[in-house]
Amino acid sequence: MRVVIVSFSSRTDGNCAQIGKLIKENIEGSSLFSFSDFSIQACGDCNYDCFEDREKCPHIGDMEYEILDSIVHSDITYFVIPNYCDYPCANYFAFNERSQCYFQGDQDLLEAYLKVPKRSIVVSNTNEENFIKALTYQTERDPVVLFLSARQYGKKSIQGDLLTNEKAVSDILDFINIAFQ
């Protein structure tokens, strides 16, 4: 089974990076893309040339295409997303925004992407509704999301110590194992 994991946090040792690594360690052969290792340029600062020819995107060389190609060719994808100001972080929105260039003029490619099951793990103490709405753009099904509130586990998100709680680790492993049953 081809599994892709995308950790959207830029924090090298934050909760999302650790969760991405935990998933990778528990799913043999999975691929992990971590925004702590790279960045994706947001749309703009161009003449929208990609709308006529996607190859003309001035940012075509960043990780966006590689991630999207990997997702399209996966059997399941996991998104790991932190909550910043009651919404997904900017990396998630840049990724979502830039995907329009990747799919430009290729409805079959977009449909293939949307058919890939996506499961999201959100590190958030608030506003689940905003995440559900944002994640609906990634799948043809209703989003499947595990919300991890650091408070629920007696932790503070900013400390990056969520995985020191055995119940949090167990909840994550249960969430990823359900997809393989």
| Two structure tokens written together for 120 | 């999201």
The radius of gyration computed from the CA coordinates of the chain, to the nearest angstrom, equals 16
CA angle 58, 131, 164 (to 5 degrees): 100
Task: Please state the pTM of the whole predicted model.
Answer: 0.94
Domains of the chain: which residue ranges? 3-178
User: Which pLDDT does position 181 carry in this prediction?
Assistant: 59
With a CB cutoff of 8 Å and minimum separation 6, the contacts of 173 are 22, 26
Q: Which CATH class is domain 3-178?
A: alpha beta
How far is 49 from 59, CA to CA, in rounded Å? 11
Q: Which mean pLDDT values do the consecutive 10-residue runs of the chain (181 residues) have?
A: 96 95 96 95 84 85 93 97 91 93 90 96 89 93 94 91 96 89 59
